[in-house]
Structure 1
Amino acid sequence: MVVGTNATGSEKLPLLILGTAKRPRWLRVKPDGVDYKGVGKGWMTAAVFSEWLQDLEARMAAEDRRILLLVDNAPSHKVPEEATPHVRVVKLPPNTTAAIQPMDQGVIATLKARVMDAQTEAIMQAHMHGEEDPHQIKLAQALQWCKQAWDDIPAETIKHC
């Protein structure tokens, strides 16, 4: 999952969910404000990061804005050779997750907890209604939970991380 926001939480980037299915047949309609990318093991790759960064660059150029993007030191976070004049990328030092990467512990932890709550509620409801396999979740539904959880995280939560 790729999560991005400004420091005050007043502007959130659309989520990018990474999965293993390249072209999931069951994902005919995805919710606005969330993207899905099928990649091998479902992990970020340099190619996916580069594509995401170029999309962000295009968006910032269209809005005539310049931003600073802080990323962790994952090997997939390669800054492309071509210039991104509207998005300056700075890699944070290794082994600093707890100290200076607040998205990991605050925002992402909150997001994951909210998604898990939605999943648990759906499973309980399906079980109560006697559905054959209450644990079977459709990708479109999971993406909707992610989007809703992201939308529901208040700016104050982000600002205080």
Structure 2
Amino acid sequence: MIFHFKTSSGWLYGWQNRHGVKKVSIQGEKICSIGANEIEKCTKNFKIFVENHGFTSEQVFNADETGLNYKALPKKTLDFCVNSYAPGWKVQKQRITLMVSANSSGYRLPLVVVHTAKRPRCDTKSNMNALPVAYYAQKNAWMDQTIFRDWFMNSFVPNVRNYLMSEGLSQKAVLVLDNVPSHPVEGFKTDDGNIFCYFLPPSSTAVLQPMDQSVIETLKHRYWKKFIQDLVSQENIDLADYWKNYNIKNAIDNVADSWSELSSTTLEKCWNKLWPNTESPSNNSDDVSRADVATSTSSALPLENSETINEWLNCDENDCGYELLTDEQIINKVNDEEENNDDYDGTDNNNENGHNPTASFLRQEAKIAASNLEKCIA
């Protein structure tokens, strides 16, 4: 029996009123509207939670997404490159979503990259499993719940279990997450319940989420410094040609190297605000700072000044890596899935994203849409 779930603006308005969902203006996950007392309460509750479950620092993980405009350049240099081979061509963002994940003792999991292509361009013959990242395809290069669930079960859990076994620790762990639409609802866990998710309070992630405390920023600093160094070190090829030929496979290799080179000190220190009683590492760090990138860029690209360099380094700071849907987009998304369901022939063959447009799936998607709206409550 096919389940027909047709939405409208009236339905959404009524649903919002029944559940007290407010329409708010948000810019990703960087908003923090809780005060010092609430932050102190959050850290205290987290400490109690960890102690009650008997977790060690090796068993507590965090993951967070961000967007990367991987081919961006400071404005004057970018204009030069574009006009060298395509005068008048309008530059479009070439972005990917990254997700970083690490525990509070400095162990990092493979970087996650979400791109639009099923297979990176110029890499059509290689084994996708040989890439230095966990690679996923999504039509807009966003992280979504389908990708996240697949990553959790098929990448995060196996890696964590192997790591805990190598450390001689019990097979239990927690993944700390923020409340955003790309993440699953409360209660998401493995079948045995030993590895599960812990959600931070809404509007607290800018202050408390570990990967937001310089890890993502430093990763991008390393990437951009590597990008610029590669750009200006080419022999027998000018800057414009190198930029034109720089592709997603190059970006994956550079960002994966940047992630692996990130210091363990940076990964450990990022937990100090959420879990201040963890053993603090020394302040010594060999990581790349914003000033390092600015200095190397200004010397390598003489057309640029500090203003254009800063604009470049900030080009994707508000890209949270997941899609923020408007009311109209939510309605269209659910209705499109219902139209796809009308053509379902009763077979069990999955499509390329692992979706089966069955009645139970549409009900699940409706619940996810409701959950996503609730996560955007002010």
Query: Smaller-chain TM-score range?
Result: 0.7 to 0.9
2:196 aligned with 1:88:
yes
Q: CA offset at residue 52 of structure 1?
A: 0.5
Secondary structure (helix, strand or coil) at the match of 1:90 reads: strand
Secondary structure (helix, strand or coil) at the match of 1:114 reads: helix
Picking from 103, 114, 123, the partner of 1:6 is 103
Asked if structure 1 preserves the Cα contact closer than 8 Å seen for 2:188 and 2:196, the reply is: no
Secondary structure (helix, strand or coil) at the match of 1:2 reads: strand
Asked if structure 1 preserves the Cα contact closer than 8 Å seen for 2:188 and 2:197, the reply is: no
Letter in 2 for 1:57: V
Asked if structure 1 preserves the Cα contact closer than 8 Å seen for 2:186 and 2:197, the reply is: no
Q: CA offset at residue 124 of structure 1?
A: 1.9
Picking from 228, 233, 248, the partner of 1:120 is 228
**Radius of gyration: which is bigger?**
2
Where structure 2 has 5 or more consecutive residues not aligned to the other structure, the ranges are 1-97, 271-378
Which residue is 1:17 aligned to?
Answer: 113
Letter in 1 for 2:142: W
Picking from 135, 142, 146, the partner of 2:251 is 142
Asked if structure 2 preserves the Cα contact closer than 8 Å seen for 1:73 and 1:93, the reply is: yes
Letter in 2 for 1:141: N
Give the RMSD, CA atoms, in angstroms: 2.5
Q: CA offset at residue 149 of structure 1?
A: 0.7
- What are the Cα deviations for residues 137-158 of structure 1, in whole angstroms up to 9, with x where unaligned? 1222211111111111111111
2:137 aligned with 1:46:
no
Which residue is 2:179 aligned to?
Answer: 73
Separation in 1, partners of 2:158, 2:240: 46
Secondary structure (helix, strand or coil) at the match of 2:241 reads: coil
Bigger CA drift: 128-137 or 38-47? 128-137
The count of aligned residue pairs is 160
> Identity over the aligned pairs, expressed in percent?
29
Separation in 1, partners of 2:203, 2:254: 30
In the superposition, relative to structure 1, how do residues 2 and 148 fare at CA in structure 2: closer, same or farther (>3 Å)?
same
TM-score by length of 1: 0.85
Letter in 2 for 1:44: M
- What are the Cα deviations for residues 72-126 of structure 1, in whole angstroms up to 9, with x where unaligned? 1111101487741232101112221321013123111100111111111222234
Separation in 1, partners of 2:102, 2:214: 13
Asked if structure 1 preserves the Cα contact closer than 8 Å seen for 2:187 and 2:197, the reply is: no
